[in-house]
Copies of this chain bind each other. A is one copy, B any other.
Amino acid sequence: MTNDTRTDSVPTAAGEADTAQAPVAMAGTLEPEAAQLDPILTAALHHIALHGYHATSVRMIAREVGVTVPALYYHYENKQAMLVALLDSSVALAISYVERALAAAGTDPVSRLQALVKAVALYSAHHRDLAILDSERRSLTEENLARYAAHRDSIESRLHEIVEDGVAQGLFATPAARNCVRAILSMTQGITGWFRPDGPRTAEETARDYERIALAAVEYRDL
């Protein structure tokens, strides 16, 4: 009972004292909205992102929350339901980044490609734990995986449209659009693997690098 697949987002103020939004011309501001996770999911995310789903026991989660194990099962049907809820939140947040960026990006394939790459890069850097969860999708049951994959693929579809558009308009010269899309998404999600918030460069600087690399990858000639 009481399982909920919806993403409950309580719109409290995102108390993140982060660096100011990048004043990039014509690109909409992307505010990292705080992922509103209940204490159980927060603890689950912490452990799963660090050690993986199968290496995380419900007892670890309960201990971190400060409750006993059955309290977890009052809110979630089983352990898998917690992973599902986390992946739902994760993909929802990623898509909200992308939608918001594209909505502010106009119709030019160049600025749309930049916007999408910036969105995924900032999401990957600002929400590393959630973004890393993507690698835990193989622990989903078949139907849960199918649902997740559908949402996830929507981002790839958006990117594919943009690249095809750019090729059709003669802006991008890549002869391998499909693999270009895969490459761009792989490399941008790869940011989760090395980016550290206390590292030498900010997420915004990193995102700008990746925007340029992505434009170069599709062989945009006027860089």
Q: Report Cα–Cα, A214/B217, bound state, in Å.
A: 7
Give per-residue flags for A184-214: 1 if the beta carbon is below 8 A from chain B beta carbons, else 0: 1111111101100000000000100110110
Selecting from A2-10, A30-38, A48-56, A68-76, the interface stretch reads A48-56
Task: Tell me whether A182 and B190 are in contact (CB under 8 A).
Answer: yes
Task: Tell me whether A216 and B174 are in contact (CB under 8 A).
Answer: yes
What residues of B have a CB within 8 angstroms of the CB of A52 in the complex? 52, 54, 138-139
What residues of B have a CB within 8 angstroms of the CB of A50 in the complex? 138
- Which of chain A's residues 58-113 have a Cβ closer than 8 Å to chain B? none
Q: Is A168's CB within 8 Å of the partner chain B?
A: no
Q: How far is the CB of A209 from chain B (nearest CB, A)?
A: 4
Q: How would you classify the secondary structure of chain A's contact residues: helix, strand, loop or mixed?
A: helix
Beyond A179-B206, A179-B213, A213-B179, is A51–B190 a contact (Cβ under 8 Å)?
A: no
Q: Report Cα–Cα, A191/B216, bound state, in Å.
A: 19
What residues of B have a CB within 8 angstroms of the CB of A43 in the complex? none
Q: Which B residue's beta carbon lies closest to that of A176?
A: B209
Q: Is A171's CB within 8 Å of the partner chain B?
A: no
What residues of B have a CB within 8 angstroms of the CB of A188 in the complex? 183
Beyond A52-B139, A55-B54, is A187–B183 a contact (Cβ under 8 Å)?
A: yes
Q: Is A141's CB within 8 Å of the partner chain B?
A: no
A-B contact pairs, 26 of them (CB 8 A): A52-B52, A52-B54, A52-B138, A54-B54, A54-B55, A55-B139, A174-B213, A174-B216, A175-B212, A176-B209, A176-B212, A176-B213, A182-B187, A182-B190, A183-B188, A183-B210, A184-B187, A185-B190, A186-B191, A186-B193, A187-B187, A187-B190, A189-B190, A216-B216, A216-B218, A217-B217
9 residue pairs, one from A and one from B, having the closest CB atoms = A186-B190, A54-B54, A183-B187, A176-B209, A187-B187, A179-B209, A54-B55, A186-B187, A183-B213
